[in-house]
């Protein structure tokens, strides 16, 4: 096994998922998509809400949990993005 690339990620230990073409990191209220060489291709944020638990699903969908950090009693949501 050999190292292909080193990809910088936030210091706060982001959660991540990987596909054949991309690495997805969830940290600092944003979901970022990078190629395996580290080139950032997309950033998604939802108005200051937290994003966590990225999981790749069928047909190129990336499922995540959306958290309302300002309201601890708020119901968390699961949403899906087209990860292709």
Residue extents of the structural domains in the chain: 15-82
Please check whether residue 11 is in contact with residue 28, taking contact to mean a CB–CB distance below 8 angstroms: no
Gap between the terminal Cα atoms of the chain? 27
Tell me whether strands 61-67 and 77-82 are parallel, antiparallel or unpaired: antiparallel
| 62: its two tokens | 């990336």
CATH number of 15-82: 2.40.10
The pLDDT-based confidence of 76 (bands split at 50, 70, 90) is confident
Task: Quick: pLDDT tens for 27-36.
Answer: 888 899 999 8
**Region label for 38, one of left (φ > 0), alpha (ψ between -120 and 50) or beta (otherwise):** left
């Amino acid at each position: 096994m050999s190292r292909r690339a080193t990809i910088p990620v936030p210091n706060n230990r982001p959660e991540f998922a990987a596909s054949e073409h991309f690495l997805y990191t969830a940290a600092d209220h944003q979901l970022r998509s990078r190629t395996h060489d580290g080139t950032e291709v997309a950033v998604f944020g939802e108005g200051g809400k937290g994003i966590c638990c990225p999981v790749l699903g069928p047909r190129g969908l990336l499922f995540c949990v959306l958290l309302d950090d300002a309201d601890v009693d708020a119901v968390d949501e699961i949403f899906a993005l087209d990860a292709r």
